Amino acid sequence: MSVWWLLLLAGLPTFLLGVFVWVVIQHLPSAEMPSTLKHPAKLLFMYYMLQYLIALGNILEKLRICAMPRFLQFLQGLMTIKKDPNVLVTDMHFGTVPVRLFKPKELSSKPHRGIIFYHGGGAMIGSLDFYHGLGNLLASETDSVVLMVGYRKLPDYHHPALANDCLNASIYFLKNLESFGVDPSRVVLCGESIGGWAVANVMQILPSIASLPQIQAQVLIQPIVNLINFQLPSHQQSKNVPFLTRDMMFMCMLKYLTIDLSWKDAMLTGAVIPLEKWKKYRKWLSSDNIPRRFWSQDPQLEFLAPFNEAAYLETKHVWSAEISPVLADDKIISQLPKTFLVSCENDILRDDVLLYKKRLEDQGVPVSWYHVEDGFHGCLMLCDKKCFSFPCSMKVVNAVVSYIKGI
């Protein structure tokens, strides 16, 4: 028996190395590093490591040992969090939703500003611990009470669990602002990536609850707000740029929405879009809304493949405003608070931000916009990761902090 264990231990490093080599060979031809990116070698290495861990997770899933998302979450949970001596951190639950409260230790004669933050991670990774440093930073730099929401994720929970957790936690917080030392007239709703999508989703509902203090501003950092048109310029230009490649985006998105991955090509080509719906919503979804300076020199024009009714029936829920917030009625959009949008040039979701920007502006919502030329998707979450941080990480943080301090 001991011989088998020795063989296993001897073969394990070879197996792990083989998987890593396979991942590099598989992704090396497709990974793109635009010239505006700073430290491309570092980003490429981190991307390979992420794909390596996903590959190991998929192997464990096929062996029925552990689901791939749970494997990534386990590894993520091994990281240590850094304490800030100037911030008091409290873990608690609002009902069944875990939340983390960050509050400046320095005594104040008046209530603090409040920030409700939904983290990113594609509903698969991301956690209160992983974004702990950002919570500390927001609390200390803006002198605010920060509520970070730990919503439910894959593999056990699918839509609408994430949005429901964010909504319920936010309602509880807004009902009890005084007990948390928060000024009801200065509450900001903030989110990154899928957390930004949650902000757009939750803000469709909160203004209609008259008993709650009104959100003064919303901050959406690289959000996804459109799950219909995947032929936008940024989808063409950045489909292979880490961290959020097109394959990664579809893996997370389809898993969360319980759409079979076999419908990916139909969604990419627009075969799931009925002509009458495209005629109705094109004014909000079309590439025509993207300023020409963001187009490549040789753009691929939008072209809908022949309609596939079976694919449409399997994916039609993406046409709801709670999944594609850019489709919300004019009445709902016009009631939204002033907005700060952050986009990154090398991000497949760059044009989602631009679509939403125009959608809000057309309804008279005051919009401020910050664009990071050397940025990529997910750079915000690396802001406190020292050697893994990038210049664009702090650019995003500083822009968000500066905007919130003005609330």
The β-bridge relationship of strands 338-346 and 367-376 is parallel
Is residue 38 a contact partner of residue 391, using CB atoms and an 8 Å limit? yes
Point out the catalytic residue in the list 84, 165, 183, 347: 347
Is residue 370 a contact partner of residue 399, using CB atoms and an 8 Å limit? yes
Handedness of CA 322, 323, 324, 325 (dihedral sign): positive
Point out the catalytic residue in the list 165, 324, 377, 393: 377
Distances (CA, A) of 371 to 346, 353, 376: 10, 10, 11
Ramachandran class of 153: left when φ > 0, alpha when ψ lies in -120 to 50, beta otherwise: beta
Is residue 219 a contact partner of residue 189, using CB atoms and an 8 Å limit? yes
Phi, psi (degrees; rounded to nearest 5) at 58 = -65, -35
| 93 included as an active-site residue | no
Point out the catalytic residue in the list 127, 140, 170, 193: 193
Is residue 188 a contact partner of residue 217, using CB atoms and an 8 Å limit? yes
Handedness of CA 284, 288, 294, 299 (dihedral sign): positive
| 234 included as an active-site residue | no
Which residue, 308, 396, 292, 298, is CA-closest to 344?
A: 396
| 286 included as an active-site residue | no
Which residue, 359, 367, 351, 361, is CA-closest to 403?
A: 367
Here the tokens at position 349 are 């979701």
Q: Give 12-78 as a DSSP string.
A: HHHHHHHHHHHHHHHHTTT----TT-SSHHHHHHHHHHHHHHHHHHHHHHHTTSS-HHHHHHHHHTT
Contacts 24+ apart (CB under 8 A), 60-69: 67/154, 67/155, 68/155, 69/124, 69/125, 69/153, 69/154, 69/155, 69/255
Is residue 352 a contact partner of residue 223, using CB atoms and an 8 Å limit? yes
**Contacts for 398 with CB less than 8 Å, ≥ 6 apart:** none
In this structure, the dihedral spanned by the alpha carbons of residues 335, 135, 173 and 76, taken in order and rounded to 10 degrees, is 100
CA angle 240-372-330, nearest 5°?
90
Q: Looking at the annotation, which residues are catalytic?
A: 193, 347, 377
